[in-house]
Amino acid sequence: MQILIFLFFLLMFLGVLEFTLHLKNLRRIPIRIHVNGTRGKSSVTRLLAAALKAHGIRVFAKTTGTLPRMILPDGKEYPVYRPSGANIIEQLRIVSLSAAQEAEALVIECMALQPHLQSLCELKIVRATHGVITNARADHLDVMGPKEDDVVKALLGTTPVKAKLYTCERDYINEFQKTCDDRESELVGISLEESEAITDEEMAGFSYVEHKDNVALALKLAADLGIPREVALKGMYEVVADVGALNEYKIKYFGRDLIFVNGFAANDPESTEMIWNLSLERHRHIDRRVMIINCRADRPDRTLQLAESITEWARADFYILIGSGSYPLLRKAVDGGIDASCMIFAERQTVSQIFEELLSVSGLQTLFMGVGNIKGPGLELVKYFKNRVDPQNHSMSSAMVMHPISDDASEDAESI
């Protein structure tokens, strides 16, 4: 019993010591930006880090997008090592590393989903000087739901105390304001007019398809930190996009023109439908349209959400079902009026086999768009097309202005 009591107090002492050291590390980093939201977290994290870097600020950044990355002040990126899977405790390690390397700023993406853990990440781990919630949509309803307003409440857990909260969310502004009032913080909203004020010429400077809301939000926060607009934009143009960022690849294959749009990371139906419609509008001349749906057996809620939505969207000529757990989607889609002959079941196939399935339904000019999830075959398919693209035909035009996307997937072995 005495040994147990001793161990108990020892653990308490070590916990207090660790937290005290963590608070000391936080105080050594004057600018701490905590980025959360349903879509666009990774993009905004990268944009903010780039703007700060361009202004001469020694900034570290950490994303938890498609592939978790630590971005150093010189722009180099390293995978984040996760020996036992994703855990919010890794944020302590990121703060410690940044403080030890004399960071003047840290831009860190929230990695928590559980509502109480989102709040814990802000109130105990990051204690942001500037908070960001990009937007709030119906996603991860099994964890943050069951309704969209529950997702909003969960995300608001990362509202900083006595600081500023920046957001592009416009539907739940009252909820945002109440939470900011409760935590004595100032709410800075980005209006639709501010986003639309960003010109097409300014958007054309990006080497990938970025979103005006993301840019407007990053520019607003950068301006509040004293960074001139032209300096911030110049830095943002140097951003290396997250693997899950919206992108478009064109390849020629034995006389066929194939266009692949990576929309896998837009997990919520609203964002996915917008990307689908804009892709169809952008490529009206295409004679065949194929939707590639990557399902995950461990995300049945997302599969059912998508299944309920695609029957109401503009129809594709064919639907290729990849990944796992796609049978419920197939059944609901057919019940909703989609012709069963248009649904091609390609679960658990290799990326080469999936590509052959795509070729089997392609025409002379075909638009393929990936939706659902990016993990597993989704990410592999993106790489498959990217590695076969003609650099001169690689289209990343800012004409496709869509809502933010990002998602979590897997990580590499060699990392921080």
ω into 146 cis (within 30 of 0): yes
Other beta carbons less than 10 A from residue 40's beta carbon? 27
What is the spatial distance between Cα 173 and Cα 171, in angstroms, rounded to a whole number?
6
In the sheet where 59-63 sits, what is the strand order?
77-79, 69-71, 59-63, 105-109, 31-36, 130-133, 164-167, 186-189
| The CATH homologous superfamily of the domain defined by 10-236 | Mur-like, catalytic domain (3.40.1190.10)
87 secondary structure, DSSP code: -
pTM recorded for the entire structure:
0.77
What is the spatial distance between Cα 74 and Cα 101, in angstroms, rounded to a whole number?
12
Q: Give the model's confidence band at 363: pLDDT under 50 very low, under 70 low, under 90 confident, else very high.
A: very high
Q: Where are the domains of the chain?
A: 10-236, 247-393
- Tokens found for residue 81: 């090592």
The torsion angles phi and psi of 270, rounded to 5 degrees, stand at -60, -50
Q: What angle do CA 389, 326, 281 make, to 5 degrees?
A: 45
Helices (H), 163-288: 173-182, 192-196, 200-203, 212-224, 229-236, 269-282
Q: What is the identity of the amino acid at 306?
A: L
- The yes-or-no answer to whether 10-236 and 247-393 have a common fold is no
| pLDDT single digits (tens) 178-229 | 999 999 999 999 999 999 999 999 999 998 878 899 999 999 999 999 999 9
- pLDDT for residue 416: 55
| pLDDT single digits (tens) 61-112 | 999 866 789 999 999 999 887 777 778 989 999 999 999 999 999 999 999 9
Length of the chain: 416
| pLDDT single digits (tens) 218-243 | 999 999 999 999 999 999 999 987 76
> Are 34 and 132 in contact, with CB atoms under 8 Å apart?
yes
Tell me the CATH architecture of domain 247-393: Alpha-Beta Complex (3.90)
The yes-or-no verdict on residue 328 having pLDDT over 80 is: yes
78 secondary structure, DSSP code: E
- pLDDT for residue 138: 82
User: Which residue has better confidence, 66 or 373?
Assistant: 373
> Are 61 and 91 in contact, with CB atoms under 8 Å apart?
no
State whether residue 305 is helix, strand or coil. helix
- Tokens found for residue 305: 């959400």
